[in-house]
């Protein structure tokens, strides 16, 4: 039995994931600015909470990015280009997250955070 999703459904998934990406991107910026205490965003959350949000938003962001990109390539049947793009979309953020985590690990764990 072959499982097939219609093109209309795929495009609805892409549209929904696009809106979720927008929300996550806004939250990502807010937490990033709160971490460095810029533009008054530190009033919204502590530095420690901002770091936690920033760290844990990365994985859902990648999932929704994947769900946003895949349907367009499946609908257009451009699988080779999709596989190349998928490898870049997965490899670069994973390497970036790992590098950022290693750089900030000692700094974050070494500091005492303010409690608001």
Locate the domains of the chain by residue range. 7-110
Q: How far apart are CA 105 and CA 19, in angstroms?
A: 31
pLDDT score of 110 more than 60: no
Q: How confident is the model at residue 116 (pLDDT cuts 50, 70, 90)?
A: very low
Distance CA 31, CA 49 (A): 8
pTM recorded for the entire structure: 0.60
pLDDT tens track for 19-63 = 999 999 999 888 888 888 878 887 888 888 888 888 888 888 888
Q: Write out pLDDT tens, residues 52-93.
A: 888 888 888 888 988 888 887 777 776 677 777 777 777 877
Note the pLDDT of residue 84: 76
């Amino acid at each position: 039995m072959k499982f097939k999703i219609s093109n209309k459904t795929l495009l609805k998934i892409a549209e929904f994931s696009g809106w979720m990406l927008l929300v996550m991107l806004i939250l990502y910026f807010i937490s990033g600015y709160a971490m460095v205490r810029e533009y008054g965003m530190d009033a919204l959350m502590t530095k420690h909470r901002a770091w936690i949000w920033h760290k844990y938003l990365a994985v859902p962001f990648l999932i929704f990015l994947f769900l946003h990109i895949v349907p367009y390539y499946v609908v257009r049947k451009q699988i080779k280009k999709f596989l190349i793009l998928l490898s870049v979309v997965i490899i670069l953020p994973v390497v970036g997250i790992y590098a950022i985590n290693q750089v900030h690990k000692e700094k974050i764990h070494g500091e005492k955070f303010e409690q608001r």
